[in-house]
Amino acid sequence: MNRLRVEILHPPVCGAGPEPRLGAMRSEPVLQVQALVKRYGTKTAVNGLDLVAQAGVTAVLGPNGAGKTTTVETCEGYRRPDSGTVRVLGLDPVRQARELHPRIGVMLQSGGVYSGARADEMLRHVAKLHAHPLDVDALIERLGLGGCGRTSYRRLSGGQQQRLALAMAIVGRPELVFLDEPTAGLDPQARHATWDLVRDLRADGVSVVLTTHYMEEAEQLADDVAIIDAGRVIAQGSPEELCRGGAENTLRFVGRPGLDVGSLLKALPADCSAAELTPGSYRVVGKVDPQLLATVASWCAQHGVMPDRISVERHTLEDVFLELTGKELRS
């Protein structure tokens, strides 16, 4: 697959032609949120949230109702904060929207497309709104939209609508792009193609703020991960930093849901812990050695449990998320 180059361009200065601007050279944060509060009536969706995103790819994770969508929409300028400050590329997204909007791209989960418009005409229309758009034909080819260019938006599959929304977000060569669930509804091949495109954006200096329900996606793409719950950022760092600890000391097995974890704990050494993370998925943390493996296997046999698999794995981002929020990301 050909690499799509997305050079960021300065506006012309003193009549000169546009010059490449690499987002990777930006030393200040691309996104700064301080003490953000947003309410809907009596409900507080965002409650004193602080978030800083540097150049690169930042993934924003959180269970439903955590406040991540409201936070991102406020950064995009679609919602006005009740209090707190928001700066995107150093600009206020509400008061300085006119200066900011040409410099950012926004992928809306709903698409933001007139249902009767054809895919190619909508993308070409958006391209004409920008001074130095990407080559539309190359973008259509890269995202696999060539076969549906003359199909109306409402007749596109969910995956095709997602890819069109992504194309519309990046066609203007943004310095920063907000991607809301960019691979939702995509088949594995299309998902990996989208991941490659996000990597290309990053390589060309485009910063990305990504919301996703796929933990693997965040681990694969993100330089930094922010976990939001109850309207606040409760943890932030690189995937490696968040997952540090327990990497070689985690034993996992799959069995029937609802096993007596308390009974398992009694059979384990005193310095071990055990939990059912999701129904039927169990994790034992401690000094993983042949003796511990034998203890777990013996306990399963005594309780009539045939584990689907037993494995020693690293501490994952999903583990961290569940520990911090007590919720599944897809809940």
Residue with tokens 């939001």: 228
Other Cβ atoms closer than 10 A to 246: 18
Contact present, 211 and 49 (Cβ < 8 Å): no
Residues 227-251 have a mean pLDDT of 85
Residues 58-71 have a mean pLDDT of 93
In this prediction, what percent of the chain has a pLDDT beyond 90?
62
Residue-level pLDDT at 245 = 57
Judge residue 83's burial from the number of C-beta atoms within 10 Å of its C-beta, 0-12 exposed, 13-18 middle, 19 or more buried.
exposed
pTM over 0.75: yes
Residue 153 corresponds to which tokens in the numbers above?
């938006």
Q: Where are the domains of the chain?
A: 8-241, 245-314
Q: Which CATH number applies to 245-314?
A: 3.30.70
Among the listed residues 8, 194, 204, 35, the one whose alpha carbon sits nearest the alpha carbon of residue 89? 8
Element (H, E) at 203: helix 188-203
**Alpha carbon distance 161, 235 (integer Å):** 32
Contact present, 90 and 53 (Cβ < 8 Å): no
**Alpha carbon distance 214, 227 (integer Å):** 13
Residue with tokens 């997952």: 243
In this prediction, what percent of the chain has a pLDDT beyond 70?
88
- Report the sign of the C-alpha dihedral through residues 285, 286, 287, 288, in that order: negative
Q: 329 pLDDT exceeds 60?
A: no
Confidence of residue 23 (pLDDT cuts 50, 70, 90): very low
**Highest-confidence segment of 206-210, 251-255, 326-330:** 206-210
> Could you say which of 3.50.50.60, 3.40.640.10, 3.40.50.300, 2.30.30.50 is the CATH number of the domain covering 8-241?
3.40.50.300
Tens digit of each residue's pLDDT (9 = 90 or more) over 268-285: 999 899 999 999 999 998
